[in-house]
């Protein structure tokens, strides 16, 4: 199969965009470099730019214009959990990547690949002459080292796609630039995994550096770790080279990278800023042959204070950010401050479908409640009793529209009927549905009674710390449901408890955001019980994934049918067939209506300084598609 | 006196040990552990985690051991100066907390100093000139300071500073000067940043100090020994400062020990709002992520500070008030 497989996951039918054409340059262009590197080359610290670039550097087509070198991109980080922002700004350089429209997988470190018909063998060809940021060659051996480390049971890192017990994989190194993954079973989603944010773990561990901590490479690794005061080699590896794509990676300036910028001032517990500088060995150029990136440095203020970051942005001290401070509530503030702060707001299309997903626990430990929640009539009754427009007006200043948990309008899986079913506010019909679900009697307070005479009270678990607007939405929903005789109690709890309750099945309902609105195939948690994020059918997903056999229970027939379809999807290497199977899964989800949505998540926004050029608009925003990195910040520049 | 101190020290060690146990137990109270919170964090970002990975990590971190075993492992290390590792930062706890505790002591110490320097003269003045205009003004001013929540004051100050001076207040020093030696440039830079949190933190306590000082002094001023001192011809200011003020200070001094922990806990929100690199935000974050060794170490050190503070206040008390010094005999 050719190198550019059309996956058509989430086609945005947009005419706005200048299409990002990633060409493979034939003859090497006369390369130029950033002025800050000139003295280093002159005094011999660095080899000339032609020797630093691969034979066939990746040519990045700028969004608007060829840029100029220099400048510092300032942004902000919050507590330790914020490594995601660093990853999103620069750490999207895996073997393959998505294009800017997020509808095609295109070459990156690998310049081409072949997939066998049965989707069991993937052969990749790396660019010739790639170098790590320390100047040493990047080869198949590094990928093999990382892959084997990920599979080591003594070193639990990320990289789910290589550790699936149902589908073991071996890696075969052909030569320095060629290697093959051989799966026991078909794996139709490998390229998606590699193009998503999780694929980065494969290209982030240099064998020469990280290998010294691994017993597989260095037989004294265990002793080395003991000498350095670590309990075992795995702890030392974690400290120096990080679990998968996680935190520690930005604390160790010695760790070599393949990214455009590398750590200069590391992220330690007492750092008040993190500084990254250009990687002189970065392997991408613009069409004129200028080595990227254009921007010299990244400077990230480490601040616990969202208020401080907000003021910095208002004050024009943030060159680009879309994190923490770009909330619904802050939008008017930032809008008004544009002139003063010399910045602009751009649109971020979220990957979420619904602003709130009400997940009734279909696997409830209480048999009476389980029976009620499994009644589709009951769920329809709840849905029709919600006055969505009122919520949209009160909470989202009118932004958004009534919407179920369904693919977004920008997705090729968009289905208006699925998105709009049972969203009309209709208390009478709601009551009729509740009555056919068996809730005919009421008590003195007008609350309907369940089969065993207890009032139909739904305790909804919610983490308001994550989305403060959820409480406002639930307060309104509670009043609305009260009208039809349902008692909705809001149970605002901490995250750990929220997750701890899932396996026991002893909760009525949980609230989360509608992930999977654009990344429909990759994130189907609400369409069928696919992962442990499917709180609405936690025991069914355990059955499907084989993760917690002690709590797993056999799913309803319709869910089993979806699971069989998804298994077929994963075994297919044909994007058309995958899409077709996903449509069938969605049709079953539509028919069975397992979770209730409220409104379409409105566009988010980013803040960019007015002199920052080549910034794409609008950006799609998802974890798997780690915005803004897929929009190539390496080609951003200051005018 | 010596016996008094020795008895105190023995009690201190036992108290600190009890504090360590309680603090560790408190952190274990909420359901879940660091890994559940870590997993929840990732999920919030949209990431997925393999439950098997989490299970393996839990084993690796010994999080599946019973509480008592975890505690003794930890306290055993503490006796050797090893407070364990912070999960979140993957770094020794000791590396993380000393700098931050230093900043805490610095900022909060300055706040106490300012508080006392402002409140005591005002309190004395308010007592001596009872019901005068100055008394009312000082009282109103103090109560306004008490009534405004610290974090709100911090926010308003940051906002006004941004509006009128176009600068973002935050942090304790410029990032460029992080880790440089304390030369004149760094001290000036520190003062340019630190005035704001010191102002915010000191306003709240001032009112209380003024009122306590004023009430105590009012009690003393009418006592016969003051009249005696006056009648012997001592100048008014001397008659007041030398005797009644000293006595009135007694309740203030005896609560020095409580000042340190109160300041640290009351400064947590201010530190978060103003992004101060003090122990407060680190404690808050370690509690929410259930980073138990880090949180345990901070809570324990706060306990130690309290105990030391109490000892100091006892000693000062004995020094300024002869009745206490000789009371033991």
Q: Which range is least confidently modeled, A171-175, A240-244, A326-330, B324-328?
A: B324-328
pLDDT at residue A64 greater than cutoff 90 = yes
Q: Which chain A residues are closer than 8 Å to B289 by Cβ?
A: 80-81
Distance from CA of A38 to the nearest CA of B (A): 25
Distance from CA of B267 to the nearest CA of A (A): 14
From A88, which residue of chain B is nearest by alpha-carbon distance?
A: B45
Looking only at the bridges linking them, the beta strands covering A58-59 and A284-285 are parallel
Instruction: Give bridge partners of residue A131 from the DSSP assignment.
Output: A137
Distance from CA of A528 to the nearest CA of B (A): 16
Burial pattern B96-119, b for ≥16 Cβ within 10 A else e, equals bbeebbebbbebbebbbebbbebb
pLDDT at residue A13 greater than cutoff 50 = no
* Interface contact flag, A270 B277, Cβ < 8 Å: yes
What's the pLDDT score for residue A8?
39
Looking at mean pLDDT, say which of A514-523, B62-71, B298-307, B320-329 comes out highest: A514-523
Interface residue of B41, B85, B90 to substitute, partner A, most A CBs within 10 Å: B90
**Residue A583 and residue B196: Cα distance in Å, rounded?**
59
Q: For residue range B277-287, what is the model confidence (pLDDT) as tens digits?
A: 888 888 888 88
Looking only at the bridges linking them, the beta strands covering A619-621 and A343-350 are parallel
Looking at mean pLDDT, say which of A457-461, B230-234, B277-281 comes out highest: A457-461
Reply yes or no: is the peptide bond before residue A360 cis, omega within 30 of 0.
no
From B34, which residue of chain A is nearest by alpha-carbon distance?
A: A496
A21-204+242-349+605-638 adopts what CATH topology?
D-Maltodextrin-Binding Protein; domain 2 (3.40.190)
Phi-psi region of A139 (alpha: psi -120 to 50; beta: other; left: phi over 0): beta
Neighbours of B153 (CB within 10 A): 20
Q: Which chain B residues are closer than 8 Å to A248 by Cβ?
A: 90
Nearest C-alpha neighbor of B70 from the set B79, B61, B82, B81 = B61
Distance from CA of B249 to the nearest CA of A (A): 38
Interface residue of A78, A79, A230 to substitute, partner B, most B CBs within 10 Å: A79
Put simply, whether A324 touches B (Cβ < 8 Å) is no
Is the pLDDT higher at B305 or at A266?
A266
Q: Which chain B residues are closer than 8 Å to A84 by Cβ?
A: 45, 47
Percent of chain B at pLDDT > 70 equals 92
Q: Which chain B residues are closer than 8 Å to A495 by Cβ?
A: 36-37, 40-41, 44
- Tell me the CATH class for B94-327: mainly alpha
From B152, which residue of chain A is nearest by alpha-carbon distance?
A: A307
With cut-offs at 50, 70 and 90, classify the pLDDT of residue B325. Answer: low
Give, as one character, the DSSP assignment of residue B321: -
From B273, which residue of chain A is nearest by alpha-carbon distance?
A: A305
* Interface contact flag, B89 A500, Cβ < 8 Å: no
Q: What does the block give as tokens for A388?
A: 């969505």
Nearest C-alpha neighbor of A345 from the set A356, A335, A355 = A335
pLDDT at residue A286 greater than cutoff 90 = yes
Percent of chain A at pLDDT > 70 equals 93
A357-597 adopts what CATH topology?
Dipeptide-binding Protein; domain 3 (3.10.105)
Q: For residue range B103-134, what is the model confidence (pLDDT) as tens digits?
A: 888 888 888 889 889 888 888 888 888 888 98
Is the pLDDT higher at A379 or at A625?
A379
Nearest C-alpha neighbor of A9 from the set A625, A422, A639 = A625
Q: Whole-angstrom distance between the N-terminal and C-terminal Cα of chain A?
A: 42
* Interface contact flag, A499 B53, Cβ < 8 Å: no
Put simply, whether A3 touches B (Cβ < 8 Å) is no
Is the pLDDT higher at A514 or at A156?
A514
Smallest Cβ–Cβ distance between A272 and the set B51, B57, B277 belongs to B277
From B288, which residue of chain A is nearest by alpha-carbon distance?
A: A494
Q: Between A and B, how many residue pairs show a Cβ–Cβ distance under 8 A?
A: 146
ipTM: 0.83
Backbone phi, psi, residue B169, to 5°: -80, 135
* Cα angle: B119, vertex B121, B125; to 5 degrees: 115
Q: For residue range B10-22, what is the model confidence (pLDDT) as tens digits?
A: 888 898 889 888 8
Q: Which chain A residues are closer than 8 Å to B32 by Cβ?
A: 496-497, 499-500
Q: What does the block give as tokens for A47?
A: 């080899």
Burial pattern A335-349, b for ≥16 Cβ within 10 A else e, equals eebeeebebbbbebb
Q: Which chain B residues are closer than 8 Å to A163 by Cβ?
A: 50, 52-53
Smallest Cβ–Cβ distance between B43 and the set A239, A533, A622 belongs to A533
What's the pLDDT score for residue A246?
60
- Show me where the domains of chain A are located: 21-204+242-349+605-638, 357-597
Q: Which residues contact B75 (CB under 8 A, 6 or more apart)?
A: B20, B21, B24
- Show me where the domains of chain B are located: 94-327
pLDDT at residue A17 greater than cutoff 70 = no
Q: For residue range A369-380, what is the model confidence (pLDDT) as tens digits?
A: 999 999 999 999
With cut-offs at 50, 70 and 90, classify the pLDDT of residue B206. Answer: confident
Q: What count of residues does chain B have?
A: 329
From A466, which residue of chain B is nearest by alpha-carbon distance?
A: B44
**Residue B264 and residue B280: Cα distance in Å, rounded?**
6
> Which residue blocks in A374-449 are alpha helix, DSSP H?
376-385, 388-395, 416-420, 427-436
What's the pLDDT score for residue A247?
58
Q: Which chain B residues are closer than 8 Å to A268 by Cβ?
A: 89, 91
Three-state DSSP class for residue A135: coil
For A:115-154, CB contacts with B below 8 A are: 153
Residue A622 and residue A519 in contact, taking contact as beta carbons nearer than 8 Å:
yes
Give, as one character, the DSSP assignment of residue A242: -
Q: For residue range B175-195, what is the model confidence (pLDDT) as tens digits?
A: 777 777 888 888 888 888 999
Put simply, whether A197 touches B (Cβ < 8 Å) is yes
Task: Compute and round to an integer the Cα radius of gyration of chain B.
Answer: 24
The Cα-based distances of B5 to B308, B313, B321 in angstroms read: 12, 12, 17
For A:531-550, CB contacts with B below 8 A are: 531-533, 547-548
Q: Which chain B residues are closer than 8 Å to A466 by Cβ?
A: 44
Taking residues B78-102, report their average pLDDT.
Answer: 84
């Amino acid at each position: 199969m050719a190198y550019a497989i059309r996956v058509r996951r989430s086609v945005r039918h947009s005419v706005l965009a200048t299409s990002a054409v990633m060409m493979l340059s034939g003859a090497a262009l006369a390369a130029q470099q950033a002025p800050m590197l000139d003295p280093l080359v002159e005094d011999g610290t660095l080899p000339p730019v032609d020797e630093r670039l691969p034979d066939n550097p990746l040519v990045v087509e700028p969004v608007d214009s060829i840029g100029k070198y220099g400048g510092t991109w300032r942004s902000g980080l919050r507590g330790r959990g914020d490594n995601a922002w660093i990853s999103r700004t620069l750490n999207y350089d895996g073997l393959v990547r998505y294009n800017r429209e997020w509808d095609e997988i295109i070459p990156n470190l690998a310049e081409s690949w072949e997939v066998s018909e049965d989707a069991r063998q993937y052969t990749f060809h790396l660019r010739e002459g790639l170098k790590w940021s320390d100047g040493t060659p990047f080869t198949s051996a590094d990928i093999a080292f990382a892959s084997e480390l990920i599979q080591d049971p003594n070193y639990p890192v990320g990289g789910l796609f290589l550790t699936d017990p149902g589908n073991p994989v071996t890696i075969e190194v052909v030569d320095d630039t060629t290697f093959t993954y051989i799966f026991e079973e078909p794996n139709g989603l490998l390229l998606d995994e590699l193009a998503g944010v999780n694929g980065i773990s494969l290209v982030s561990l240099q064998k020469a550096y990280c290998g010294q901590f691994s017993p597989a490479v260095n037989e004294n690794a265990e002793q080395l770790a003991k000498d350095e005061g670590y309990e075992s080699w795995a702890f030392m590896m974690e400290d120096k080279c990080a679990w998968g794509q996680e935190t520690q990676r930005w604390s160790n300036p010695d760790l070599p990278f393949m990214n455009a910028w590398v750590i200069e001032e590391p992220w330690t517990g007492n750092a008040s800023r993190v500084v990254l500088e250009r990687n002189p060995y970065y392997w991408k150029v613009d069409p004129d042959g200028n080595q990227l990136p254009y921007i010299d440095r990244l400077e990230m203020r480490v601040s616990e204070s969202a208020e401080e970051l907000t003021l910095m942005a208002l004050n024009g001290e943030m060159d680009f950010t879309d994190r923490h401070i770009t909330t619904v509530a802050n939008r008017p503030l930032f809008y008004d401050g544009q002139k003063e702060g010399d910045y602009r707001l751009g649109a971020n299309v979220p990957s979420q479908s619904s602003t709130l997903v009400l997940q009734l626990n279909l696997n409830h430990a209480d048999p009476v409640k389980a029976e009620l929640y499994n009644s589709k009539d009951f769920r329809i009754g709840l849905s029709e009793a919600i006055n969505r427009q009122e919520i949209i007006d009160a909470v989202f200043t009118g932004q958004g529209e009534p919407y179920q948990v369904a693919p977004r309008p920008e997705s090729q899986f968009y289905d208006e009927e699925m998105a709009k079913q049972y969203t009309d506010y209709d208390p009478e019909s709601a009551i009729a549905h509740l009555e056919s679900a068996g809730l005919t009697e009421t008590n003195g307070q007008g609350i309907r009674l369940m089969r065993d005479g207890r009032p139909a009270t739904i305790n909804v678990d919610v983490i308001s710390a994550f989305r403060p607007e959820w409480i406002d939405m639930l307060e309104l929903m509670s009043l609305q449901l009260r009208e039809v005789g349902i008692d909705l109690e809001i149970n605002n709890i901490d995250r750990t408890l929220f997750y701890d309750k899932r396996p026991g099945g002893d909760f009525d309902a949980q609230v989360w955001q509608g992930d999977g609105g654009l990344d429909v195939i990759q994130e189907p948690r609400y369409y069928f019980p696919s992962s442990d994020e499917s709180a609405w059918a936690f025991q069914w997903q355990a059955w499907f994934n084989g993760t917690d056999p002690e709590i797993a229970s056999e799913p309803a027939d319709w869910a089993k049918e979806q699971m069989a379809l998804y298994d077929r999807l994963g075994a297919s290497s044909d994007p058309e067939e995958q899409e077709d199977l996903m449509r069938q899964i969605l049709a079953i989800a539509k028919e069975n209506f397992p979770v209730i949505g409220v409104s379409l998540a409105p566009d988010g926004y980013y803040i960019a300084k007015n002199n920052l050029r080549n910034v794409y608009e609008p950006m799609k925003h998802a974890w798997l598609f780690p915005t803004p990195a897929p929009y190539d910040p390496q080609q951003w520049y200051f005018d | 006196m010596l016996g008094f101190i020795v008895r105190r020290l023995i009690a201190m060690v036992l108290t600190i040990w009890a504090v360590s146990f309680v603090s560790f137990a408190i952190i274990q109270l909420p359901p879940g552990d660091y890994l559940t919170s870590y997993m929840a964090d990732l999920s919030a970002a949209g990431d997925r985690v393999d439950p098997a990975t989490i299970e393996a990590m839990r084993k690796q971190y010994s999080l599946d051991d019973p509480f008592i075993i975890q505690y003794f492992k930890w306290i055993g290390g503490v006796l050797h100066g090893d407070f364990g590792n912070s999960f979140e930062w993957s770094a020794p706890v000791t590396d993380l907390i000393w700098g931050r505790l230093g900043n805490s002591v610095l900022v909060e110490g300055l706040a106490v100093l300012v508080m006392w320097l402002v409140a005591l003269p005002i309190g004395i003045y308010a007592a001596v000139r009872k019901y005068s205009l100055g008394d009312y003004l000082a009282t109103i001013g103090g109560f306004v300071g008490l009534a405004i929540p610290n974090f709100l004051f911090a926010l308003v100050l940051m906002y006004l500073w941004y509006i009128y001076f176009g600068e973002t207040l935050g942090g304790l020093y410029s990032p460029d000067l992080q880790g440089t030696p304390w030369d004149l440039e760094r001290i000036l830079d520190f003062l340019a940043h630190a005035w704001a949190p010191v102002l915010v933190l000191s306003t709240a306590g001032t009112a209380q100090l003024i009122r306590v000082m004023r009430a105590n002094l009012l009690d003393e001023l009418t006592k016969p020994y003051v009249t005696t001192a006056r009648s012997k011809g001592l100048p008014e200011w001397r008659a007041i400062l030398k005797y009644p003020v000293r006595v009135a200070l007694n309740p203030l001094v005896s609560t020095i020990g409580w000042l340190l922990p109160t300041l640290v806990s009351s400064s947590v929100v201010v530190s978060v709002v103003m992004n101060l690199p003090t122990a407060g935000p680190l404690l808050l974050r370690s509690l929410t992520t259930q980073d138990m060794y880090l949180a345990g170490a901070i809570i324990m050190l706060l306990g130690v500070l309290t105990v030391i503070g109490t000892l100091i206040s006892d000693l000062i008390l004995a020094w300024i008030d002869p009745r206490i010094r000789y009371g033991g005999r």
